[in-house]
Amino acid sequence: MRRIKIRKHSVRNDSSNEIESPNHSLPNEQNAELCTILAVNEKRLRETFQACSDIVFRPICSNPEVLLIYTDGLIDTKTLDKVVLTPFLFNGAPRGLNGDSISGQIIQEQLVAISQVQTVSTFNDVSDGILKANIVLLVEGENKALVADLKGFEKRAVEEPEAEVSIRGPRDGFTETLRINTSLIRRRIRSSKLKMDSVTVGQVSQTEIVLVYIDGIVSNTILEEVRKRIDRIQIDGVLESGFIEEFIEDAPWSPFPQIQNTERPDIVCASLLEGKVAIIVDNTPFALIVPMTFWTGLQAVEDYYERSIYTTFVRLVRYSLLNIALLLPSLYVALSTYHQQLIPTNLLVSIANSREGVPFPTFVETLLMEFMFEGLREAGIRMPKAVGSAVSIVGALVIGQAAVQAGIVSAPVVIVVATTGIASFAIPRYNFGAAYRLLRFPMLILAGMLGLYGIISGLLLMIIHLLGLRSFGVPYMSPVAPQIPQNLKDVFIRAPRWSMNQRPSFFSGANKRRIPEGQKPSPKRGRAGK
């Protein structure tokens, strides 16, 4: 057995360890080619990673000499010791055989247990490989380096998403690890037509982004538009998918979201089967889905796992609660202030008695209670989970009861604001519900100024805005405006699965047929087939 000397494990980039080479000048360009002298390559890389204490340079004195470079904390050290260091300790670096290069021999004899190994020839590729949780092997006499995948950083386990809880359906959710997220999608759609294009965004962060779509189902026009918008992003770092969302949306000043975000792989797969495009961003569990329509924001995941009759009823209830969340406070202010004749007499007398002694107009006390309710909701979100719900519930009860007893606000206003808050919780998408929470205040101001005329004016402006809004070229109100009758089976109602045989026309490409016709269940047909 051949004895090999191992130099001391070095983590620091000390300039004293750098080897001067008077006959070879160091490359100044980041994309310069590697040279055959290991000392020159090491000096250049040490200068690149100066003051980076987590970058480990481990020289191995063998014949020929080998330099191992990796990022501490991002590497599976057990596999590194077993697959790379142990073979070098006992056998040394393999010599060239039959004219083959040393790099080729290392791949063949010692790195065969590593799934992904590639050869690079520039300093830029070496630096990227180190920063992307790979190990890099540089060999004396070789102008190429080996980049081997040995990722071993800490990652969160697959868990159920807390923001999108479902009664029935899968319990797994995305994590902050990109390849785990793509694997969750691949497990559900096991087809070679499922494509995943990778792109890097962020000049400093170098964040990897994956565009996911199904070839033949996706619209090529929408796919190319998504690629163009992502390619033109110029930013120093991308820390979450929200960074990407703000760069690619159609109307940045609209309160309505034009890009859907989700933590659930089943929602992403269902959207891909409709012809949409998913954007998976590394280091975040939230995936983006484009394009998005108004009706997508009102659809919950249980709508497609329960029977259509029950789902249709719940969906109609949800639409009613949506109108209550937007209009109930403004209607109360408009009717009690300007249009008392529209209120039944007994109810009007009860409201008048409850408002006796209240120092503020109806508009002011409603606005104050709405603001206080939003403050309690925000405080409940920011507080720890153990006390967040208790603070929001107890705070609402205590403040509401104390305000009524003190005569600051009337009891009907507390009832109206509480009912509005409960109705807003019925909106499945958080960002979509936030749009209605925001619009509730302008509607309330219009009602306090103009009564029912102000409410009608606000609704007209909102409808005009929605009709002109688009998401990656798709009308936001489709398939209602413009109306597509064959796509209305999943808007106000949810038709049975066997009857929804067409994909959405605005999303899908050439393959618009989802389910063949004639699959309605029939007991007579089943007996006849026996």
- 212-250 pLDDT, tens digit each: 999 999 999 999 999 999 999 999 999 999 999 999 999
The helix/strand count (H/E) of the chain reads as 17, 13
Tokens 């408002």 appear where?
A: 355
Distances (CA, A) of 174 to 185, 191, 237, 300, 430: 10, 20, 21, 18, 17
Size of the chain, expressed as the number of residues it contains: 530
Tell me, yes or no, whether 497 lies in a domain: no
Residue 22, pLDDT above cutoff 60: no
Domain coverage including residue 398: 308-475
What are the φ and ψ backbone dihedral angles of 67, each rounded to 5 degrees? -120, 125
Residues 216 and 355 grouped into a single domain: no
Tokens 């509005």 appear where?
A: 420
Per-residue pLDDT, 109 = 57
Per-residue pLDDT, 324 = 95
Residues 246 and 107 grouped into a single domain: no
Tell me, yes or no, whether 161 lies in a domain: no
Domain boundary, last residue among 475, 493, 511: 475
- Give me the residues paired with residue 475 across strands: 470
Instruction: Give exposure, 461-472, as e/b (b: 16+ Cβ within 10 Å).
Output: ebeeebeebebb
* In contact, 298 and 318? CB cutoff 8 Å: yes
Residues 196 and 265 grouped into a single domain: yes
Tell me, yes or no, whether 460 lies in a domain: yes
- Give me the residues paired with residue 201 across strands: 207
Domain boundary, last residue among 427, 453, 475: 475
What are the tokens at 351?
Answer: 């409201």
Pairing mode of beta strands 117-120, 66-71? unpaired
Centre a 10 Å sphere on the Cβ of residue 279 and count the other Cβ atoms it contains.
Answer: 24
- 465-519 pLDDT, tens digit each: 999 999 999 999 999 989 888 889 999 999 999 999 889 888 888 888 888 888 8
For residue 407, give every residue at least 6 positions away whose Cβ sits within 8 Å of its Cβ, in sequence order, or none: 357, 358, 359
Quote the number of domains for the chain: 3
Residue 525, pLDDT above cutoff 70: no
Residues 51 and 93 grouped into a single domain: yes
Strands (E), 265-342: 277-281, 287-290
What are the tokens at 255?
Answer: 């309160």
Per-residue pLDDT, 528 = 46
Tell me, yes or no, whether 198 lies in a domain: yes
Whole-number Å distance between alpha carbons of 524 and 291? 42
- 369-422 pLDDT, tens digit each: 899 888 888 877 777 776 666 666 667 777 778 888 888 889 999 999 989 988
- Residue 110's pLDDT band, with cuts at 50, 70 and 90, is low
Distances (CA, A) of 350 to 198, 336, 367, 406: 64, 12, 21, 18
Domain boundary, last residue among 133, 149, 165: 149
Residues 71 and 204 grouped into a single domain: no
- 286-322 pLDDT, tens digit each: 999 999 999 999 999 989 999 999 999 999 999 999 9
What are the tokens at 20?
Answer: 């001067």
Distances (CA, A) of 55 to 35, 99, 125, 214: 21, 34, 16, 39
Residue type, 2: R
Residues 275 and 405 grouped into a single domain: no
